[in-house]
Structure 1
Amino acid sequence: MTWRMPHEGDLHERTWMAFPNDGATLGADPAEQDGYYDAWSAVAHAVVEFEPVTMLVDPSKADRARRMLSSEIEIEIAPVDEFWFRDHGPTFVIDDERPGVLGAVDWIFNGWGAHEWAGWADAARHARLVAGLVGAEIVSSLLVNEGGGIHVDGEGTVLVTETVQLDPRRNPYADKARVEAELARTIGATKAVWLPRGLTRDYDDLGTNGHVDIVATIPTPGRLLLHQQRNPEHPDFAVSRQLREVLTQETDAAGRSFEIIDLPAPDVLRDREGFVDYSYVNHLVVNGGVIACGFGEERADARARDILEAAYPGRRAVTIDARRIFAGGGGIHCITQQQPKVLR
């Protein structure tokens, strides 16, 4: 078997999500909790305009989900603790030698490095649960990894971060060679591009320690969309410059140097917790569209839509306010997972 993770822009069967449930990342303030439910629901309703959506919902939240979600969104009742589905759900792959076969990589999920606040007993079972629901072959992995920690071009290139896959709280005995060999086996990656780090806020307690899907993505093979912080007062001003310098020296699996497209951050620098990591890179590509993060800045949000529509020709960009999602440690890409359509 030769598994390959398709590019996110390839045709999807559907998008998967998980409805928020009580826990550390939901917070304790009822008004803030309502904001999470509103944001998750808004993303689901935006996606379902382009492709089917299935939402895993904990039994305790079934009534709330049915009230908030339209009948177009399929609800699957199952135990849910963590609800950042990109990270703990399956990473879908296909086998080019067996048309019609769908695979589901089941990474080990340990709450982004076994944080004391994280509870992941249910989330760690979601990959196999979803694989059973869609009839996918399970691809078991001993690598502690999350879907937000990788981005691929569908042709062998994968973006990863040294502080994620080599995090001693995740993979204490790993080195680059071992990680690359496992990524080759599970998602068909023949060239790993290692970023030295992620954005500053992502190293806070509720962060992921440097997920790549808030920093850079590959809209088409040979091209990168890269987060750009333009304000020198923000620590990510230096970080984004460092990452750009690293990526200008890299090549993809085909040996091409990357064409780098800057995706500027919004103007806001702080929230009540400190410097923000607001990033338009954390978008979801869907059939015929792009679901983009919005941050309440009309001009910056519109500029991001223009850049995304140019990077993904023929797709319409739709902005959803993602500030509440970012307050919990991620963005729109972090709460969704695409299931590719397999051709028979």
Structure 2
Amino acid sequence: MTFRMPPEWAPHERTWMAWPGPNPTFTDGAELAGARAAWAAVARAVRRYEPVTMVVGPGQAEGARELLGADVEMVERELDDAWMRDIGPTFVTDGEGGLAAVDWVFNGWGAQDWARWEHDSKIARHVADLVDVPVLPSTLVNEGGAIHVDGEGTVLLTDTVQLGAGRNPGWTREQVEAEIHARLGTGKAIWLPHGLSADYGRYGTRGHVDIVAAFARPGVVLVHSQQDPAHPDYERSRTYAEILRGHTDARGRTLEVVEVPAPTVLKDEHGEWVDYSYINHYLCNGGVVLGSFDDPHDEIAAGVFRRLFPERRVTLVDARAVFAAGGGVHCITQQQPKA
């Protein structure tokens, strides 16, 4: 039986999320409250298009319900953090009605000193059990935000994630590709050298691809484009676009690259470079949930997505509190495809 990961634009059964709880990512009460409000806003936006199930830590359901409303389902499980894209399963289908869950090894984004993963490393199996589907275990340390597929055999990866010393020391590129292809049903990997510069800060993922580039449909890939030469991602984003334009996909098509201008803001209130990105969006049934930043480029980005997805409604959700914690809209959602 051959399984493959459907593209994000394929029909979904539901979306899975995880509720923020007290942990090192949210260093005080105000940050945690802001994160919960942001997570809830994303959940409510996605719920307009499809069912949402929120995994909530023990004893936190009542407060979550107040923010989520009645339409979001909740289940209680032990959690360390709240990034369902990374801790949840990668769902795959067999094309004949079968669904399974790939369970990557999760080790806190490369065993970072602040991270905890005793509970999060088990969430993929918990979700698979709740859905009642078989688990396909992998020996590769990997996260859902570190891969992006076109549904026709192509996958995007980054050197500093799958080949990073904190994740898979000793693995070769060929070994990583073999495992990825075996689990996702892909046949061609396109490697980018690294992620955005701010993703290497304290709470960064060390190079997740879903903030850099994402397929919009087979043969078409969105790429982050920093417009200001003062930002270190100015050169990085040009490198990504050049690499992608030089590649063909698994079907032999030369990739069409759509550059999406980054928000105009360059630094946060602490004077640190930001990695605000519209690439880190989420496709759901009939909709696009797009992070916004109270920025002049918000509507420009929304226009790009409306042109690319004319059959979907674009919903803007303020993502600044999510990015402050180290991720974006895509990072906190995980699709369960229709089998």
In the superposition, the TM-score normalised over structure 2's length comes to: 0.98
Displacement of 1:283: 0.1
Q: Matches of residues 201-280 of structure 1 in structure 2 within 5 Å?
A: 201-271=198-268, 272-280=270-278
Contact between 2:322 and 2:328, CA under 8 Å: does it hold in 1?
Answer: yes
Contact between 1:292 and 1:332, CA under 8 Å: does it hold in 2?
Answer: yes
Displacement of 1:217: 0.3
Paired position in structure 1 for 2:6: 6
Aligned-pair Cα RMSD in Å: 0.8
Q: CA deviation digits over 1:150-181, x for unaligned, max 9? A: 00001110000000000011000111100110
Q: Which amino acid aligns with 1:89?
A: G
Which of 164, 174, 183 in structure 2 is aligned with 1:177? 174
Displacement of 1:60: 2.7
Q: Which amino acid aligns with 1:20?
A: P
Contact between 1:180 and 1:189, CA under 8 Å: does it hold in 2?
Answer: no
Paired position in structure 2 for 1:15: 15
Q: Distance in 2 between matches of 1:235 and 1:321?
A: 24
Q: Distance in 2 between matches of 1:180 and 1:153?
A: 16
Q: Distance in 2 between matches of 1:286 and 1:305?
A: 15
Contact between 2:56 and 2:79, CA under 8 Å: does it hold in 1?
Answer: yes
Which of 129, 132, 145 in structure 2 is aligned with 1:132? 129
Q: Distance in 2 between matches of 1:119 and 1:273?
A: 27
Describe the SS at the equivalent of 1:208. coil
Displacement of 1:273: 4.7
Q: CA deviation digits over 1:56-106, x for unaligned, max 9? A: 00013122112211111000111111110100100000012xx12101000
Contact between 2:264 and 2:297, CA under 8 Å: does it hold in 1?
Answer: yes
Runs of 5+ consecutive residues of structure 1 not aligned to the other structure: none
Work out the number of aligned pairs and report it: 338
Contact between 1:88 and 1:126, CA under 8 Å: does it hold in 2?
Answer: yes
Q: Matches of residues 5-154 of structure 1 in structure 2 within 5 Å?
A: 5-28=5-28, 30-96=29-95, 99-154=96-151
Describe the SS at the equivalent of 2:323. helix
Describe the SS at the equivalent of 1:270. coil
Q: Distance in 1 between matches of 2:284 and 2:5?
A: 16
Q: Which amino acid aligns with 2:144?
A: G
Which of 144, 168, 187 in structure 2 is aligned with 1:190? 187
* Change over 3 Å in CA distance of 1:13–1:153 after alignment to 2: same
Q: Which moved more, 1:241-250 or 1:42-51?
A: 241-250
Q: Which amino acid aligns with 1:38?
A: A
Q: Distance in 1 between matches of 2:193 and 2:76?
A: 39
Q: Distance in 2 between matches of 1:319 and 1:79?
A: 30
Contact between 1:161 and 1:212, CA under 8 Å: does it hold in 2?
Answer: yes
Q: Distance in 1 between matches of 2:147 and 2:309?
A: 19
Q: Distance in 2 between matches of 1:26 and 1:86?
A: 18
Q: Which amino acid aligns with 1:293?
A: G
Q: Distance in 2 between matches of 1:53 and 1:186?
A: 25
Q: Distance in 2 between matches of 1:336 and 1:164?
A: 20
Q: Distance in 2 between matches of 1:311 and 1:152?
A: 17
Describe the SS at the equivalent of 1:230. coil
Q: Distance in 2 between matches of 1:273 and 1:128?
A: 40
Contact between 1:228 and 1:263, CA under 8 Å: does it hold in 2?
Answer: yes
Which of 304, 311, 331 in structure 2 is aligned with 1:334? 331
Taking only the aligned residue pairs, the percentage that are identical comes to 52
Matching of residue 293 in structure 1 with residue 276 in structure 2: no
Q: Distance in 1 between matches of 2:64 and 2:291?
A: 22
Displacement of 1:305: 0.8
Describe the SS at the equivalent of 1:252. coil
Displacement of 1:335: 0.3
Matching of residue 159 in structure 1 with residue 166 in structure 2: no
Q: Distance in 1 between matches of 2:282 and 2:145?
A: 11
Contact between 1:86 and 1:147, CA under 8 Å: does it hold in 2?
Answer: yes
Q: Distance in 2 between matches of 1:50 and 1:287?
A: 5
Q: Distance in 1 between matches of 2:31 and 2:26?
A: 8
Q: Distance in 1 between matches of 2:182 and 2:143?
A: 16
Q: Distance in 2 between matches of 1:157 and 1:23?
A: 36
Displacement of 1:313: 2.6
Describe the SS at the equivalent of 2:276. coil
